[in-house]
Amino acid sequence: MFQADELTEAVVHFRKLFADGYCYVAAIPTYVGGHLAMGWATDNVKLRQASVKTIAERYRRAGRFRTRYWTPEVHVAAFALPRFIAEKVARAAERRLGAGGRLSATASRSRRRS
């Protein structure tokens, strides 16, 4: 995986500042390796769990404009990571948590500031 360290570090930093730090992927044929991981960070942990039905309804309300590559199904599937990327994200989560699965002192202080 290209830039694996950068992905892991980015997710660690996201999780210091937000309740949910993750990434999503897109197939980019011109990118070496084919997968491009993009950062995701939010304090609303439910956003990443939106169903196809929910995304489709939002799309309908937005006017169901024509898209060539995007669909509600592709949107939801973008958060289903290939194993080699999911392992990097999991490693970032382990670095974010202290002993016993609790937030590290640094992360806890960071969360209080927001």
Domains and CATH numbers, the chain: 4-109 (3.40.50.150)
Whether the predicted model's global pTM rises above the 0.85 cut: no
Q: Three-state SS across 9-77?
A: HHHHHHHHHCCEEEEEEEECCCCCCCEEEEEEEECCCCHHHCCHHHHHHHHHHCCCCCCCCCCHHHHHH
Residue carrying structure tokens 């609303």: 44
Local structure of residue 3 (DSSP, 8 states): T
Averages of pLDDT over each 10 residues, the chain, 114 residues: 86 94 90 88 95 98 95 95 92 68 45 44
Q: Which amino acid is at 92?
A: A
At residue 109, what are phi and psi to the nearest 5 degrees?
A: -60, -40
